[in-house]
Amino acid sequence: MDSLLIKGGVPLRGEVHISGAKNAVLPIMAATLLTGEECVVRRVPDLSDVAFMGKILASLGAEVTLRDGELRVRAAKIKGVGDYDLIRKMRGSICILGPLVARLRQASVSLPGGCVIGSRPIDLHLKGIARLGGKISIDSGYVRVKAPKLQGAEIFLGGRVGSTVLGTANIMMAATLAEGVTVIESAACEPEVVDLANFLIAMGARISGVGSPTLTITGVKELHGAEHEVVPDRIEAATFAIAAAVTKGEVMIHGARLDHLQAVLEKLREAGVKMERQGASLLVKRGGRLKPVDVTTLPYPGFPTDVQAQFMVLMAMSRGISIITERIFEARFMHVSELARLGADIAIEGPSAIVKGGLPLSGAPVMASDLRASAALVLAGLAAAGSTQVNRVYHLDRGYEKIDQKLRQLGARIERVNET
């Protein structure tokens, strides 16, 4: 098992190019199951989750090739039963459910796994499939769906903490091949959902309201192959922007969609981080003493939960008290105890973390619990004095393409160590 050894205290300087979005490419890969024709997807990041999804598609009978960021999938003949051991290990694998039901009118998919960041039930996915006409049962760890006929319906997908991103993706994909019109209310508006919708439209789907809380899908008899380029990863871009700030560096970020980052950029400005747009790129640098800022995570276009842990590192270095409230996942503060090992003063009160910032951070061995917590610990290690060893970085490899290499190109003293 790999770990990262970081010698902190070096300001990051240089340029970094943002990869394709993990949270967009996984549903897009699942959508290739909707047609027997070849689909070509470009700007595909080199991630373990992408490799996993490729194995899942192959296990269903699809022909899958990935080379130099270009993915080709031909799902001419597929089966409706997914590989139990593959699917259960990755949360994003649940998005094969909608395409299989749409294409084959039946599916057996194991209940998914993923990061341990709180309860993420799939009840809204199943509610939507049932509204379209699917008969659902759960046994032996599988979700089993039979749908001799899929009929368009009005479906409300609002949940306890807002819209469901993968649920919206699943129902949208299923509805593309249903009879009649499906209207999804309280649909997720995230850029990754928009990217999936654009891919489906390129395949011949009829979808309106893209990017709004109301999606209207008029079913068609079949979809065809298409080519598509994945949207840039807004979470990776935010992570590198915060990395520049916590190390007192100066980093030019290329390839990000700045319109997808407004909530994060606004909070960085409030914290005293200097940012300058240069064409389609963003120059980020520390503007002086950092200021404490309160943050509440919300569905898009609010502040993303996937940047909460990284922003907490920035607040740990800001003199004063800031309050970070997590409204999406109830167990997404597992990085707090590890940040405390580095010297951060953070207390948890219900859904909020009270950060008493300004204390110096010093290196120590830490353990990553999930993908974004891993990124936060790397940022803290970059800012801390001395050496930090971040263990279990396989989480990082799930969502950040070659993050250690990109950081080294910016001057970071970071080394990957194989512990096996």
User: Would you please indicate which residues are annotated as catalytic (active-site) residues?
Assistant: 115
3-state helix, strand, coil in the chain (%, to 5): 35, 30, 35
Q: Is 159 helix (H, G, I), strand (E, B) or coil?
A: strand
Question: Does residue 301 have a cis bond before it (omega within 30 degrees)?
Answer: yes
Are 267 and 311 a contacting pair, CB within 8 Å?
yes
Are 188 and 163 a contacting pair, CB within 8 Å?
yes
Q: Using CB atoms within 10 Å of the CB of residue 136, give its burial: 0 to 12 exposed, 13 to 18 middle, 19+ buried.
A: middle
DSSP-derived pairing of the beta strands 320-325 and 295-296? parallel
Task: Return the H-helix or E-strand segment holding 312.
Answer: helix 308-316
CA–CA distance, 33 with 96 (Å, rounded to integer) = 8
CA–chain centroid gap for 408, Å, is 23
Q: Residue 137's CB: how many other CB atoms inside 10 A?
A: 10
What the block records as the tokens of 315 is: 């607040």
Give the closest residue to 400 by CA, choosing from 206, 207, 238, 165: 238
Q: Is 247 helix (H, G, I), strand (E, B) or coil?
A: coil
Give the closest residue to 365 by CA, choosing from 357, 383, 373, 377: 377
What the block records as the tokens of 62 is: 């699809």
CA–CA distance, 382 with 223 (Å, rounded to integer) = 47
Task: Return the H-helix or E-strand segment holding 408.
Answer: helix 403-409
CA–CA distance, 260 with 231 (Å, rounded to integer) = 10
Q: Which residues pair with 320 in a beta bridge?
A: 357
Give the closest residue to 261 by CA, choosing from 249, 253, 251: 253
What the block records as the tokens of 259 is: 């319109």
Question: Does residue 99 have a cis bond before it (omega within 30 degrees)?
Answer: no
CA–CA distance, 409 with 412 (Å, rounded to integer) = 7
